[in-house]
Homo-oligomer: A and B are copies of this chain.
Amino acid sequence: MDKRGTTTTFEPTQLGYAILGLLLDEPRSGYTIRKIFQQTAMGEFSSSPGSIYPALKRLDVHQLIEEIKGVATTRKSTSIYRVTKQGKGQFLDWLRLPINRRDITHAMKSMMLRFGFMSQLPVEEVLVFLQMFERETRTYCQELESFLKHQADALPLLSKLALDNGIRGYRAHRTWATRAIQVLETDHA
Contacts and interface: CB of A to CB of B under 8 A. Distances in A.
A159 B106 contact: no
Interface residues on A, range: 20 to 34
Interface in A104-162: 105-106, 112, 115-116, 118-119, 126, 156-159, 161-162
B183 A173 contact: no
B169 A173 contact: yes
A46 to B, nearest CB: 11
A183 B169 contact: no
Given A106-B44, A157-B183, A115 B168 contact: no
A163 B179 CA distance: 13
Interface of A: 41, 43-44, 105-106, 112, 115-116, 118-119, 126, 156-159, 161-166, 168-169, 171-173, 175-176, 179-180, 183-184, 187
22 contacts: A43-B106, A44-B105, A44-B106, A112-B165, A115-B158, A115-B165, A116-B162, A126-B158, A157-B183, A157-B184, A157-B187, A161-B176, A161-B183, A161-B184, A164-B176, A164-B179, A165-B176, A168-B173, A168-B175, A169-B172, A169-B173, A172-B172
